Structure formats: C-alpha cells, structure tokens
Amino acid sequence: MMLSGKAKLAGVMGWPVSHSRSPRLHGYWLAQYGIDGAYVPLAVAPENLKDALAALPKIGFRGCNLTIPHKEAALDYVNTIDETARVVGAINTVVVDDAGALRGSNTDIEGFAQNIRSTGHMLDASHPALVIGAGGAARAVIAALKSLGFTRAAIVNRTPERAKALAKDLAPLALTLDVHAWDRRSDLVKDASLVVNTTSLGMNGAPPLALDLAAARDDALVTDIVYAPLETPLLQAARARGLACVDGLGMLLHQARPGFRAWFGVDPEVTPALRAHVLKD
C-alpha cells in the first residue's frame, strides 16, 4: 500500500534498534489489512529518550513501542501509566491520546498470558507456577500469572537478592511469591503446573538452562521467553518428557497487538503466516 499524506505513524524506540523485529511484525499487519500507515525503527540514544517521546505528538505520531534500554526510563517521561505497568516498573507501549498526552502501558504482560492461552492447555492453577529468573521479563511474566488464575508462584534466580527485591516490588499484585535458592530449581519442578524460563539461558550463544524435568507433573506446561532458537534445550527436554510446551515467539507477537489496535484501529490476528514471516528474518 502506498502511504498518503494522512498515513498513521508509529514506531519502536531502542538503542540500538536494528535488532528489533517489531517493524517487520507491524509491517506485515499494515500490508495484510491494507492500512495507510507506517511503523518505523527509531534509533534513540538514552540521553534523547525524553525529547524523543515529547516529540511524538508534535510530529503527528500515534505512539510507539519501547525496547532495550528504554522500558524502565520511559516511566518518567509519559503522562499516565497503567496500574500494573507501574507495579512491574516498565512500559513497552506508548499511545498518544486525542489531547496529545502520552499513555504508557506494558503489553508484555498480556502478551505472555495470551501466548499461554493460545495453547488451549488446561492449566491447573491450584498448583504454583515456577518462574526461573528475576529480571525485567520475569516481572512481566509474574504480573500475567494472576490473569491465568494463579495465586502462587515459586521464583528462583542465580542472584537471590534480585528475586527478593522482585517479590517485594510485586507485592501489590497480591500473589504469593516464594523465593527459593537457585540450586533448588529442579525440586520445585515437581509441584509446578507451569514452568517458565525468563533468563537468557538457552539463547543462541548462551549455555542451556540446566533443569531436570523428570519429576514434573504430567499436566505441566513448559514455556521459554527465549525464542532464538525457537526450540530451546529446555523445550526440547520438555517435549522429550512428553510435556506440553509453547515457545517464546508467541509472546512477542501477542504483545504487539494492543499497540497496533490503538495506533491503526484494527485488532490484528496472530496467525501461523505471521509467525513464519517474522521467523524468515
């Protein structure tokens, strides 16, 4: 579709931004729905983030996504922040409202939940979720657990202080968060109905996550935030053990939907063709 003078504009701010798959993802939807709009990479250095966000309404942008390293810093530069994003301490989506104010939200949270729901797997949320890692991704995952029906999660992290700080910060979510030692992770698998790797272990170039799934519940679902490779060593092990699995790419695709809907006016679909398109990159 050719852009007209009325084209709707959005993009992704990151530093660097060249690794971002969001332009490819949103570009696919813009073409699929025949929308007069563009979604562009915006290379914004940290010291320019405040000015770049403030410029959005002035240059007619409808908003943007935020990626590394801007998700936390941007909290200070938007006008309103939704409640859960504030608790999580990060935003990844900014929408310019009709009055030109910037509204920040964190769609990674719902993106994670939607990816889990897309499996159709019946989670037994009376058993806890096991969350491995305590970084920014873990925070969004834990915030999503409530909407998946969980009341309790076990958290393990190599650096225990970080897991304790996370549990303290996320107290307003009203989930019971139990922090355990890193070397207990394989024991904790026994009771978990959902196992989530939020660390970078298993990513291309990184060592695999060592986790013994032998004693896992037969109805457990295993997922990984890592999506390069799509089939991480953790997911391979889970499949070999006969457990239900879902890879991390779906979270990336689903987190993009609320922004696209707000900027371009269509609730876009996550389809196998979209997955294939994003993976071809």
**Residues recognised as catalytic:** 71
> What is the gyration radius of the CA atoms in the chain, in angstroms?
19
For residues 237 and 99, give the distance between their C-alpha atoms in angstroms, rounded to a whole number. 51
| Beta strands 176-180 and 152-156, pairing class | parallel
Cβ proximity to ligand ATR, 60 vs 69, nearer residue: 69
Task: Give the tokens for residue 14.
Answer: 């990151």
Cβ proximity to ligand ATR, 80 vs 159, nearer residue: 159
Please, what is the minimum distance in Å from the beta carbon of residue 273 to ligand ATR?
28
Please, what is the minimum distance in Å from the beta carbon of residue 205 to ligand ATR?
12
What's at 159, amino acid-wise?
Answer: T
Cβ proximity to ligand ATR, 9 vs 134, nearer residue: 134
Tokens 């943007």 identify what position? 64
Rounded to the nearest angstrom, the gap between the alpha carbon of residue 98 and the centroid of all alpha carbons in its chain is 27
Cβ proximity to ligand ATR, 167 vs 262, nearer residue: 167
Which position's Cβ is nearest ligand ATR?
A: 135
C-alpha distances out from residue 243 to 12, 122, 221, 239, 278, Å: 36, 13, 6, 5, 26
Contact indicator for 54, 77 with CB cutoff of 8 Å:
yes
Angle at 208 between CA 204 and CA 211, to 5 degrees: 150
Cβ proximity to ligand ATR, 134 vs 142, nearer residue: 134
Contact indicator for 143, 122 with CB cutoff of 8 Å:
no
Name residue 176's beta-bridge partners: 152
Please, what is the minimum distance in Å from the beta carbon of residue 176 to ligand ATR?
20
Please, what is the minimum distance in Å from the beta carbon of residue 269 to ligand ATR?
27
For residues 41 and 142, give the distance between their C-alpha atoms in angstroms, rounded to a whole number. 29
For residues 233 and 210, give the distance between their C-alpha atoms in angstroms, rounded to a whole number. 9
Cβ proximity to ligand ATR, 199 vs 223, nearer residue: 199
Task: Check whether the bond before 69 is cis (ω within 30° of 0).
Answer: yes
What is the contact surface with ligand ATR in residues (CB under 6 A)? 133-138, 157-159, 162, 198-201
Q: What share of the chain is helix, strand, coil (3-state, %, to 5)?
A: 40, 20, 40
